[in-house]
Chains A and B, each alone.
Chain A
Amino acid sequence: MSDAPLLEAEAVTCRFGRVTACRDIDVAVHAGEILGIVGESGAGKSTLLRCLAGVVRPASGTVTYTDAGGREHPLHALEDSALRRLARTDWGFVHQHPHDGLRPHLSAGANVAEPLLRCGETRYGRIRTAARHWLEQVELDPVRMDDRVRTFSGGMQQRVQLARNLVTEPRLLFLDEPTGGLDVSVQARLLDLIRQLVARLQVAVVLVTHDLAAVRLLAHRLVVMQQGGIVEQGLTDQVLDDPQHAYSQLLVASELRC
């Protein structure tokens, strides 16, 4: 890991009308690192994630991305086209609901092909090979690559979404409750797959979840959010084994109870 963070948020505040969804957030993600963001529903996790990915513009504060060449990009000061280019080439974003991140009427292969095409690939053979490769990487049978995504189960759709977000080999992957709507057994398998893939690909990850088991398995570092603010952050084991803030203690205690 290099010293300069890949992504750094400083004093970020996001508002929706009178609601302050996140308040005065400082957070950094380093290359190859998995950062978990936990907190109860409505804590502002998704808003922070969307703000880190440049999708939501903060009311104040900055988010800076440092590219592979060491160049800094102040996300919310970029032109729309420059931001989109970065998002295409350097990031992936996996949504909680597959229909937000996929084109359900297209085949699995086409869904994986699209980001490559949008990065300028113009050879069908290359696209086909890459789509097959990445569907295999997420442990989907390539026999189904020409089937429409809407005929797939929820867990399989999330795998297609993962493949679609990995095909451009991003440096940074945003995951918003990627196992949210799935059965428990399916969740466990998907989490395990994510763990293997990100380790192998050395991609940095920001993982939003309210599932402490998921961050225990995946995250190096942890941010605990409550009512739009960060109440505690640190190494995952540290935070979960010895929570300092009363709210973190409550979260950990409630996990143990169930």
Chain B
Amino acid sequence: MSAASPGAGPLPGYNFAYLDEQTRRMIRRALLKAVAIPGHQVPFAAREMPLPYGWGTGGLQITAALLGRDDVLKVIDQGADDATNATSIRRFFARTAGVATTERTDAASIIQTRHRIPETPLRPDQVLVYQVPDPEPLRGVETREAEARRMHAAADYGLARVALYEQIAHYGRVRQAYNHPVIVNRRYLASPSPIPRFDNPKLDHSPALQLFGAGRERRVYAIPPHTPVHSLDFDDVPFTVDADDTACSLCGATDTYLDEIVLDDHGTRRYLCSDTDFCRRNRDGGPDHE
């Protein structure tokens, strides 16, 4: 594992956390606006980052704008701290900001994530930063950007429900496993970044501040602490998460999001917690274990 030692200072010749103060302030201003209008996409002047688009440059810039010397950073990709993407982002901030990093959800003050919300319940003093590939929840149903903006302005989200209608009509239920759109604070439709629908309920009334950054699209948006977040549904076909009592083959948990691993070409499968930190501590009988 490559978590940098907390004592290592930032690289000489670089600004703290890579971005210059001016840029950090610009991003923080955009974030303040985003927090003031929960779920609304706020444009910001995204900078070139030393990672390709699609590798979380939006989340990266938010994290860079927020980091202070006392922060403790955790970075996960699909729930795992040791995925390539997470490792390189963590190493990047250890080098450019010299901040402490951790794999423990409960020890982190800022958690940058791609595709998951940690299983360990978050606290009011924590910030969750999402890497968002596409911030526009209407993209799948309305390709014209101006028209999508008009729909947001008028809270005209009927078209977003058409996609749900089609799934129910064809399959008897909503099958969308990822990226199920949500209404934030009873007003704006937002993309939950592609987290699994399993995680959608955790968006609702979360005590932690949730920030979303899309680098290529140059947008940020936010869900402030304790904000109502409703997964889009019908009154008579409410949003649900499939009940599934499959257990993690490492820690035995039955209430976590599991990755399916195909072991051979006979279709033998194993299921493992996607949240590697939770799984390890569950095995160790850690604080999350009941």
Given contacts A81-B153, A84-B154, A118-B156, contact A123 B162 (CB under 8 A): no
Q: Are B235 and A118 in contact (CB under 8 A)?
A: no
Q: Which of A120, A121, A122 has the most CB of B within 10 A?
A: A122
B236 pairs with A110, CB closer than 8 A: no
Q: Quick check: B235 and A123 within 8 Å, CB to CB?
A: yes
Quick check: A106 and B162 within 8 Å, CB to CB?
Answer: yes
Closest to B166 in A: A110
B234 and A106 form a contact (CB under 8 A): no
Residues of B at the A interface (CB closer than 8 Å) are: 150, 153-154, 156, 158-159, 161-162, 165-166, 168-170, 234-237
Q: Which residues on the A side are within 8 Å of B158 (C-beta)?
A: 114-121
**CB contact list, A95-153 vs B, under 8 A:** 103, 106-107, 109-110, 113-125, 127-128, 145-146
Contact A109 B159 (CB under 8 A): no
Which residues does chain A contribute within 8 Å of B161, judged by CB atoms? 117, 122
Taken together as a complex, chains A and B put the C-alpha atoms of A120 and B158 apart, in Å, by: 7
Q: Is A80 among interface residues, defined by CB-CB distance under 8 A?
A: yes
A128 engages B169 (CB within 8 Å): yes
A106 to B162, CA, bound (A): 9
Instruction: Tell me the nearest residue of chain B to A81, going by C-beta.
Output: B154
* Residues of B contacting A113 in the complex (Cβ-Cβ under 8 angstroms): 162, 165
Residues in chain A within 8 A of chain B (CB atoms): 80-81, 84-85, 103, 106-107, 109-110, 113-125, 127-128, 145-146
CB contacts (< 8 Å) of A116 on chain B: these are: 158
CA distance A56 to B110 in the complex (A): 51
Q: Are A117 and B169 in contact (CB under 8 A)?
A: no
B237 in complex: contacting residue of A80, A109, A119, A124, CB < 8 Å: A124
Query: Could you say which of B168, B169, B170 has the most chain A C-beta atoms within 10 Å of its C-beta?
Result: B169
Contact of B162 among A85, A114, A125, A145 (CB under 8 A): A114
Cross-chain contact A107 with B169 (CB below 8 angstroms): yes
- Offer 30 A-B interface pairs, CB within 8 angstroms, sorted by A: A80-B150, A81-B154, A84-B150, A84-B156, A107-B170, A109-B169, A113-B162, A113-B165, A114-B158, A115-B158, A116-B158, A117-B158, A117-B159, A117-B165, A118-B156, A118-B158, A119-B158, A120-B158, A121-B158, A122-B161, A122-B234, A122-B235, A123-B236, A124-B234, A124-B235, A124-B236, A124-B237, A125-B236, A127-B165, A127-B234
CB distance from A147 to the nearest CB of B (A): 10
Q: Which residues of A contact B168 (CB under 8 A)?
A: 124
A-side contacts of B150, CB under 8 Å: 80, 84
